[in-house]
Amino acid sequence: TNEQMSNSSYKSLLRNLPRVNLQNLKANPYAEVKHSPNRGPHAIGLKNGVRPNIKPRIGYVQDKTPFQKRIPKYGYNREQHLKRQYFPLTLWQLQRHVDLGRIDPTKPVDITAISNGRVLSMVGSESNYYGIYLLEQGANIFKAKLDIEVQIVDELALATVEKAGGTVSTAFYDRRSFVALCNPVEYFLMGKPIHKRLLPPQELVTYYTDPKVRGYLSDPAKIWEERMKLAKKYGYDLPELSEEQKHLMVEGKKDPRQVFNGLMPGSIVNLADKTVLVPENEHFKQHAAM
C-alpha cells in the first residue's frame, strides 16, 4: 500500500515516528505573529505620553498656511467622474482558460461566460468599469476558435482570432447592463423587469459604427470587406466560417437595446419556478418595445 503513495521523505519519516496525537502538535515557529499596534517601538497610540484624541487634525501646521493650501489648484482630476475604464483581457489568458476547460469554445464567449469561468473578477468593481479590452499579448500561441464579444479590440488581437477561425464583435453596455451581465443570477433575484440597454454616448458612436473594429452598429457587408483587408495586411489565409457564425454576424446578434440574449426587456425571470413572465398589457408592451 505504501508503494502506491506519492514518494516523499516526509511521509517515510512519519511512518517511523510515534503516533500523532493532540499532545504532539505544535504551532508553526516560523509563522508571522500579529502584534497589537499599541505596543512596541512603533506604537500608534500612547506615544510620548500624548493621547491621540488631543493631537491636532491631519495636515495642520502651526502658525502658517499649510503646504496643501500654498500651492494653487490645477485640474489634473477634472473629468475623472466621466471617464470609462475597461478590464484588460489578453489572448494568453483566453487560451489558457480554454485549455483548462473554463470557457466553452462551442458557445459564444460573452461577459457572462468570462465572469462565470472566473477569468476576470468583475463583480463588485468600481462604478466606472464599462467592459473588457481584448489585448494582443499571446498572439503567437493563440489557436482557439471562439466567437467573442468585447468592448474594445486591438488590431493584432482581431487578426489572430480571425486567423484561428473565430469571429469578434464589439458592443457597448452601459454600467447597469454590464453589472447585470457579470452576475445575472443576482440581477434576476431582484425581481425587477429587465431594463433596456442604452445606446453609446456621443464620443463612442464613431467607434461602434466603424467596421474596422467590428462594431455592432456598423454595416455587416463592410465588415466582410474589412476581414479580407486585414488578412492581406497581416498575410494569412482567411478561413471559411460555418453557417452558424455567418448567421451570428448578420442576424443572430443581440438587438442594440437588448441586454440578455433571448430575453426581451420588460420580462421577468422567475428562477424558483424556472419560467419567464412576458407582459400582456399593451401599455407595457409598447414601453418595452426595442
Partner 1 sequence: MKLCSRKFVSPARFLLQSIQNRNSHVNSEDFIPPNLVMAKINPLLHNVTIQEVPKISDKILVSRHCVEKVPKHKNAISVWLDNLMHARPQYNSVVQLHPVLFDAHPRMDILHSVVRWQQEYREVDYSWSRTRAEIGRGKKKPWHKRDWKSKTWSSNSPLWMKGGISQGPRGPRASFYELNPNTLLDGLLIALSIKHIQNDLIIIESAQISQDMPNFDEYLENRNLSETSMLLVHAENENISYLEQLVEDSKFFNILPLYGLNVCSILKHDKLVLSRYMLDELEHKVLWHKTRYPWLGSPHNFYLDMPGQDNAQSVDTDNPEPIGETGHM
Cell numbers for 17: 515516528
Q: Which of 1, 65, 80, 202 is the binder for partner 1 (CB under 8 A)?
A: 1
Task: Determine, following the binding rule CB under 8 A, whether residue 72 of this chain makes contact with partner 1.
Answer: no
Q: How many residues bind partner 1 (CB under 8 A)?
A: 46
- Which secondary-structure segment (H or E) carries 130? strand 129-135
CA of 85: how far to CAs of 108, 126, 151, in Å? 24, 9, 11
Pair 279, 267: CB distance under 8 Å: yes
Task: Determine, following the binding rule CB under 8 A, whether residue 71 of this chain makes contact with partner 1.
Answer: no
Minimum CB distance to partner 1, residue 122 (Å): 9
Pair 175, 130: CB distance under 8 Å: yes
Minimum CB distance to partner 1, residue 105 (Å): 19
Task: Determine, following the binding rule CB under 8 A, whether residue 26 of this chain makes contact with partner 1.
Answer: yes
How far is the C-alpha of 101 from the C-alpha of 84, rounded, in Å? 31
Minimum CB distance to partner 1, residue 160 (Å): 28
How far is the C-alpha of 60 from the C-alpha of 45, rounded, in Å? 19
Nearer to partner 1, 15 or 51 (CB): 15
Task: Determine, following the binding rule CB under 8 A, whether residue 101 of this chain makes contact with partner 1.
Answer: no
- Beta carbons within 10 angstroms of residue 252's beta carbon: 13
Task: Determine, following the binding rule CB under 8 A, whether residue 33 of this chain makes contact with partner 1.
Answer: no
Does residue 177 sit in helix, strand or coil?
A: helix
Cell numbers for 171: 458592443
Q: Which of residues 162-191 bind partner 1 (CB under 8 A)?
A: 182-183, 185-186, 189, 191
CA of 15: how far to CAs of 8, 18, 219, in Å? 11, 8, 72
How far is the C-alpha of 179 from the C-alpha of 129, rounded, in Å? 9
- Which secondary-structure segment (H or E) carries 85? strand 85-90
Minimum CB distance to partner 1, residue 134 (Å): 22
Q: What would the x/- binding string for partner 1 be over residues 262 to 281, using CB under 8 A? A: ----x-x--xxx---x-x-x
Q: Which of 11, 39, 107, 229 is the binder for partner 1 (CB under 8 A)?
A: 11
Cell numbers for 113: 461566460
Task: Determine, following the binding rule CB under 8 A, whether residue 4 of this chain makes contact with partner 1.
Answer: yes
Minimum CB distance to partner 1, residue 37 (Å): 18
Minimum CB distance to partner 1, residue 150 (Å): 20
**Positions that interact with partner 1 (CB under 8 A):** 1-2, 4-6, 8, 10-11, 14-15, 18-23, 25-28, 31, 115-116, 118, 123-124, 182-183, 185-186, 189, 191-193, 266, 268, 271-273, 277, 279, 281, 283-284, 287-288
